[in-house]
Structure 1
């Protein structure tokens, strides 16, 4: 057991795992359970509509572009983008596969070069291949960031800022992780430890944005010089620095690892 885990850990951290290699593109399109194609399509459609409606409600609720300063809102909007892309890719691939095999069957009937009733693997169009890689990237980012947002919000932000426990608040900071875990359980999309590299880069970009926003004199929705109290770079620079380090080196890796463990057990 120990040697198997060690070997698996080494494989997960290999350079090849960092890339979004489409050796098995069907994993990004199909569920990992015996779910009918129609049910899978309806699931993708429902999750897209559900998430989009909450994003629209969030935008109307705050009535300011500053609502996108919060990481939880950015992640949830990214989740809507993921569901939209996953649905489009699913429909696109289904149409491409049907047309491909229909044309192959017609060629067989006409005595073309296809022999023995086999048409070989479905040739993935370059644009669809790129869209699937983007879907995979969004899936990993959204899943890990959702769990991390939930953990950090209830451990650090909520005890300090005491936001009201509204339906909106619970959906953004609990429902986000439920949706991410549900998609992880139902879909066949692989997650690797090495994908933390992408999470690290995304986290650094967000922190850099917050820092530049603060330096330029930007304020929050309540006109305060910080987005989160723990990231008040002007008043508590050490607290902000340690919060950033904890977020990138502890919170985000923990959220990513919690997603990965059930897949490897």
Structure 2
């Protein structure tokens, strides 16, 4: 909801509370006190909601430096440069194995059907964000060798914004694909528990969770619509694919059984539940990112206190005795 609409809604709630307070009979002082207390609490609660919403709306974009450095360091060390390109190689392996069905016990060899599955959309987005991340870190690695380089002067340009968007979307989608696949899609009668299946529906989310606690990329609640927009676009694609007579790898007239548009009412409810799940999932990833930030802040405080104690424990240099 836009901030203006939120303020109007809060104002209406406050006016409604004032009207209720005035409508309470004066004959019952106890009841009047209770209603007055509730009105005051309601006002404070609404004011707090409005304050938080305005703060979120005015929140500035992150510094470009946080997109190219690890959480534990304020510069790019050689290990992080290698780490980012290893992540890219892993995502590239995911794409190659999924396209050519390496690791599948019963490959169907229907390469033209690869782009229709949401899992493969997630794999493609993960590959692109890993490539951009490797490029940004390599660029930062070269720039910091220049004398006088200040990472705070890095600008948040279109490439950095795209990487931020893709990273947040890939993280949410990887976890969402894993959960939805094993709870609603997996069917032992047609799906094999093979290395390719584990790679596509377990390793993808494990990789992003590990990477989440290594990188310094911010997650913000107001960006929940990023992943939601991709999922909505996929739902629209599934409708178009169904109307065009598209089939899945097994010859069924749908992509996933839970997205069978021959049953529009049930499938629409599934989509609404999916949109809600994606929104809740984004809140969970924001919570995980907040936990990550708190852990590193505590580690920094501990390290600083240890350094201070070490400096205080050093013996003072002895003053040389003067010879008379």
Corresponding residue SS for 2:123: helix
Task: Please say which structure displays the higher CA radius of gyration.
Answer: 2
State how far apart, in whole Å, the 1-side matches of 2:169 and 2:220 are.
12
- Residue of structure 2 in register with 1:39 after alignment: 79
- Residue of structure 1 in register with 2:285 after alignment: 259
1:61-81 Cα distance to aligned partner (Å, 9 max, x none): 244131121111110121111
1:76 aligns to 2:151 (yes or no):
no
Corresponding residue SS for 2:145: helix
State how far apart, in whole Å, the 2-side matches of 1:181 and 1:13 are.
28
Deviation, 1:187, is 0.2
1:175 aligns to 2:200 (yes or no):
no
Higher mean displacement: 186-195 or 217-226: 217-226
- The aligned length equals 236
1:240 aligns to 2:267 (yes or no):
yes
State how far apart, in whole Å, the 1-side matches of 2:91 and 2:187 are.
26
State how far apart, in whole Å, the 1-side matches of 2:193 and 2:174 are.
18
State how far apart, in whole Å, the 2-side matches of 1:233 and 1:95 are.
52
Q: Give the 3 Å change call, closer, same or farther, for CA 63–82 of structure 1 in structure 2.
A: same
State how far apart, in whole Å, the 1-side matches of 2:86 and 2:212 are.
16
1:117-156 residue pairs with structure 2 within 5 A?
A: 123-124=153-154, 129-156=157-184
Root mean square deviation of aligned Cα: 2.6
State how far apart, in whole Å, the 1-side matches of 2:58 and 2:165 are.
15
- Contact kept in structure 1, 2:125 and 2:170, CA below 8 Å: yes
1:45-56 residue pairs with structure 2 within 5 A?
A: 45-56=85-96
- Residue of structure 1 in register with 2:52 after alignment: 10
5+ long unaligned stretches in structure 1: 105-118
Runs of 4+ in 1 over 2 A off after TM superposition: 9-17, 93-99, 119-125, 159-162, 262-265
5+ long unaligned stretches in structure 2: 1-44, 102-108, 292-324
Deviation, 1:231, is 0.7
State how far apart, in whole Å, the 2-side matches of 1:170 and 1:224 are.
23
Residue 66 of structure 2, aligned match among 27, 31, 44:
27
Deviation, 1:160, is 7.8
Q: Give the 3 Å change call, closer, same or farther, for CA 213–56 of structure 1 in structure 2.
A: same
1:175-201 Cα distance to aligned partner (Å, 9 max, x none): 111011011100000001111111221
Residue 111 of structure 2, aligned match among 64, 76, 82:
64
Q: Give the 3 Å change call, closer, same or farther, for CA 58–194 of structure 1 in structure 2.
A: same
Q: Give the 3 Å change call, closer, same or farther, for CA 85–36 of structure 1 in structure 2.
A: closer
Corresponding residue SS for 1:14: helix
Deviation, 1:26, is 1.2
State how far apart, in whole Å, the 2-side matches of 1:142 and 1:85 are.
13
- Contact kept in structure 2, 1:12 and 1:192, CA below 8 Å: no
By relative contact order (CA 8 Å, sep 6+), the higher-ranking structure is: 1
Deviation, 1:87, is 0.3
